[in-house]
Amino acid sequence: MSGSARGIENLIELMAKLPGLGPRSARRAVLYLIRKRALLLVPLADAISEVATTARECVNCGNICTSEICDICANNKRANGTICIVESVADLWAMERANVFKGRYHVLGGTLSALDAMGPDELGIPRLLARVQNEDTTEVILALNATVDGQTTAHYIADELRGRCAVTSLAQGVPIGGELDYLDDGTITAALKARKTL
Amino acid sequence: MSGSARGIENLIELMAKLPGLGPRSARRAVLYLIRKRALLLVPLADAISEVATTARECVNCGNICTSEICDICANNKRANGTICIVESVADLWAMERANVFKGRYHVLGGTLSALDAMGPDELGIPRLLARVQNEDTTEVILALNATVDGQTTAHYIADELRGRCAVTSLAQGVPIGGELDYLDDGTITAALKARKTL
């Protein structure tokens, strides 16, 4: 691509590597940024530099934060004794948006996977077990994705924790606002098996 | 949204303002950036800061560049005497990607539009006419979008330039690889009217 200066081309190439953006949308985004210099380009430059220097993993739970211990782990108002296990930071943020869980989290950073050579040690399962012990945990909630790898990992962790504390997992069933006609057979089967008395 | 530190939330909010990104894809992009710190986050921070300080409009043609005169206007190998008029910098870059035009450009930055109060003065038409005079232009190529506003603007500029130099416009017709069945009636009509002897 020519017609633009080297620095601008470089920025377009980097933006095109973001998920959800390709070369065409990266060009559009960069032109938009340059048009909105004061309102967007300069603030974005500052924000991204700040995150580049400050963002780090919470040493306790694996959440992304700007201090050694994340806001959730540092918050005394959150219940001790309950740990919600999620696969990724994105899942942790999704749980927080629902604004219903008031305990602590543990981010696995992936799932057990023979293909990707992800075993219990790579996932930090021993560290999780130590944490469950140290924090006098009474309940571990498994909020892993309802995929094959996610459920395999959930069963492995549940086996490891058996006898140490209560282990629960998110309910499976019909999503709120979901229409039966558009649901897959697996979800309908799970929802029927887990039916409740009204 | 909670669960993330203030600086990270701020970056997500800014990213969500980019065209093609919403809150969800901005979160995904920021998490991806933080995971790829050395490979993507730090280079992007540098690139965006550089563009924020250096990007500016070419005083001659309106292209975006990092110097007073853009690479195209400064390039002695490009033909003088031919000016291609485009609506936006994105259009200029699209022309350059086709790599077939070897003259100079003029970026209008919009089209005539009564609704948006864009008249000839707001579009800088007098400056364009002066440029055509000063550069001994022999041909002006109108490469405006094939929209109502684009074509209105093209006709206005053609009228203003009448007698001063040759005025041409991009051919309209069937796009390369286009299938007649998927083309609109207007394009087929234009292609038929402009049919050529083989």
Q: Identify the bridge partners of residue A142 per DSSP, sorted by sequence position.
A: A85, A169
Give the model's pLDDT for residue A3. Answer: 60
- Contact between A34 and B64 using a beta-carbon 8 Å cutoff: yes
Class of residue A1 by CB neighbours under 10 A (exposed 0-12, middle 13-18, buried 19+): middle
Give the model's pLDDT for residue B1. Answer: 44
In chain B, what residues touch A77 (CB-CB under 8 Å)? none
Give the global pTM.
0.79
* B176 at interface of A, judged by CB pairs closer than 8 A: no
| Helix, strand, coil % in chain B, rounded to nearest 5 | 50, 10, 40
Q: Residue holding tokens 């999503």?
A: A175
* A75 at interface of B, judged by CB pairs closer than 8 A: no
Class of residue A103 by CB neighbours under 10 A (exposed 0-12, middle 13-18, buried 19+): middle
* A69 at interface of B, judged by CB pairs closer than 8 A: no
Give the model's pLDDT for residue B187. Answer: 86
* B23 at interface of A, judged by CB pairs closer than 8 A: no
Residues of chain B with CATH 1.10.8.420: 3-54
pLDDT digits (tens, 9 = 90+) for B63-78: 999 889 999 999 999 9
Shortest CA gap B20–chain A (Å)? 7
Q: Identify the bridge partners of residue A117 per DSSP, sorted by sequence position.
A: none
Classify the complex by whether its ipTM is higher than 0.90, answering yes or no: no
Give the model's pLDDT for residue A137. Answer: 93
Distance (Å, rounded) from C-alpha B192 to C-alpha B189? 5
In chain B, what residues touch A44 (CB-CB under 8 Å)? 11, 14-15, 48
Q: Is the pLDDT of residue A1 over 50?
A: no
CATH of domain B3-54: 1.10.8.420
* A72 at interface of B, judged by CB pairs closer than 8 A: yes
Q: Tally Cβ neighbours within 10 Å of residue B161.
A: 20
Q: Is the pLDDT of residue A9 over 70?
A: yes
pLDDT digits (tens, 9 = 90+) for B138-171: 999 999 998 889 999 999 999 999 999 999 998 8
Q: Is the pLDDT of residue B40 over 90?
A: yes
Q: Which of residues 90-119 of A touch B (CB under 8 A)?
A: 90, 92-93, 95-97, 99
Residue A108 pLDDT grade (very low, low, confident, very high; cuts 50, 70, 90): very high
Q: Is the pLDDT of residue B4 over 90?
A: no
pLDDT digits (tens, 9 = 90+) for B9-33: 999 999 999 998 999 999 999 999 9
Residues of chain B with CATH 3.40.1360.10: 76-169
CATH architecture of A76-169: 3-Layer(aba) Sandwich (3.40)
What average pLDDT does range A168-191 have in this prediction? 86
User: Which candidate in B44, B65, B71 is best for mutational testing of the A interface (most A CBs within 10 A)?
Assistant: B44
* A194 at interface of B, judged by CB pairs closer than 8 A: no
Q: Which of residues 43-62 of A touch B (CB under 8 A)?
A: 43-45, 47-52, 54-55
Q: Euclidean distance between the first and final Cα of chain A, in Å?
A: 63
